[in-house]
Amino acid sequence: MVWRRGRGFAEEQRIVALDRERRDLDAQRISLEGELQRATSADRIAAAASRRLGLRAPSDSQIITLIRARGAGATVADTP
């Protein structure tokens, strides 16, 4: 009977420790998701592209819009 109580107490302590670890890992996951969101934001990527690669946003006069034909025999007039 004493062995069972001791075993039950040990298992309860293990459950409490695992629950604490799960909460810590959940908090870490949330923190990492926030870091990932900040790291992959468009503003941060644009700044890195500009700084590291010398890229910049094109002016309106540099933008060319291409229209892709729908089928093999389609023409520009066939597209909406």
pLDDT, tens digit, 9 for 90 and up, residues 51-60? 999 988 889 9
- Domain segments of the chain: what residues? 2-78
- What is this structure's pTM? 0.53
pLDDT given at position 1? 58
> For the residues of 22-34, what is the DSSP string, one character each?
HHHHHHHHHHHHH
Q: Which of 75 and 39 is assigned the larger pLDDT?
A: 39
Instruction: Answer for the pair 70, 78: CB distance below 8 angstroms, yes or no.
Output: yes
pLDDT, tens digit, 9 for 90 and up, residues 34-51? 999 999 999 999 999 899
Q: Is the pLDDT of residue 3 over 70?
A: no
